[in-house]
Homo-oligomer: A and B are copies of this chain.
Amino acid sequence: MGSRPTIQMVAELAGVSRGTVDRVLNERPHVNEAVRQRVLAAMRELGYLSPREAYRRQADAALRPLTLGVLLPNWEGQFRDEVTQGLRQACEELEASSVRVLIRRCETDLPQEAAELLEAMRGEGAEGFAVCAVNDPAIQGWIAARMAEGIPCVTFNSDLPESGRLCFVGQSIRQAGRVAAGLLYKCASGRGPILATAGNLKFDGHRQRLDGFLERLEELGFPAEQVMVRETFNDYETTLRVVGKALEEQPELRGVYMANLSVSGCCAAIARAGKSGRVHVVCHDINESVRQLIRSGAVDFTIPQDLRRQGYAPLLLLRDHLRKKSPLGPGRQQIHILCAENLED
């Protein structure tokens, strides 16, 4: 009673062996997912800490407190939800090691606003930064100046490659654009022109996707004059209008590359034109809306990315860097392809 909870108590509450609890604790493979969740729930309920975690918290608590700053763009929906989940998980883990996290969200895509928010967090004492912002010289310069002072900055989701940041956490975006080109080429080649719609090309992520896409189409010998490019700023109404107009101008259009977030706007325009199933669609990311569009056949393929990890990993990398723990690289991730037949249920 009142004493520290043990591994045995966790095992009993979860109805599994001590060995299984040990495997979950050490993130070892071959544990059934339902069992793992039951063990984690039992740990939370009992407030159990592994010896490793208890030791780490004790050690970290003795360290000087740290403050980290996170800058987010104004994107809504899936990006916001999943990155926020990752951030929240990181904050919970970091709180126990005396790390405070400031989070600021831009209201516009203006570089000046982003630079001001970064500077304000610096004023509040932030000693390391995780940044997702437009790839603008003003922000590149701000990051370069911090790096020169020994204040580490990590970019995530959309890179600022010229800034000299510590590292980038995210998909190999140019390659993801190349994969999209390969897929759409197989569906549409020899059948008609292709429309590529980008988000906001001032973000390196959106620019890289489009560059990779166009580069690969050219390598495959797809005629350049049969590719239309439009910027639709992740906005439903703009996408609906732009895709609708393209379908009028090019009645033979056979493929749309949706490099931005308004996939439902694109599919609505195709349905209104009475061309569902005739015009192939390849997009990025996966949420309930895209899942349904894939199941119904309106979207052929999507290329997902791990947004939760993009919120989680930068803060842990910054803490480890500032506290001189072993350097853990951001790691390269295989690019996956999802279609109606291999969507997970």
Contacts and interface: CB of A to CB of B under 8 A. Distances in A.
A42 to B, nearest CB: 15
A17 B30 CA distance: 28
Contacts of A35: 329
A6 B341 CA distance: 49
A29 interface: yes
Contacts of A17: 325-326
Nearest to A278: B190
B179 A23 contact: no
| Copies of this protein chain in the complex | 2
Q: Classify chain A's interface size.
A: 35 or more
Contact of A178 (B186, B325, B341): B341
Contacts of A206: none
Contact of A19 (B179, B187, B326): B326
A28 interface: yes
A32 B328 contact: yes
Contacts of A187: 186-187
Given A17-B326, A32-B328, A325-B19, A182 B26 contact: no
A337 interface: yes
A335 interface: yes
A216 interface: yes
A340 interface: yes
B341 A31 contact: no
Given A181-B341, A182-B341, A341-B181, A28 B30 contact: no
A183 interface: yes
A331 B182 contact: no
A344 interface: yes
14 contacts: A23-B326, A23-B328, A26-B26, A27-B29, A30-B316, A175-B341, A179-B342, A182-B339, A183-B339, A186-B186, A334-B336, A334-B344, A337-B337, A337-B339
Given A23-B328, A179-B341, 16 more contacts: A20-B326, A27-B27, A27-B28, A30-B316, A30-B329, A30-B331, A178-B341, A181-B341, A182-B339, A186-B186, A186-B187, A187-B187, A334-B344, A336-B342, A337-B337, A337-B342
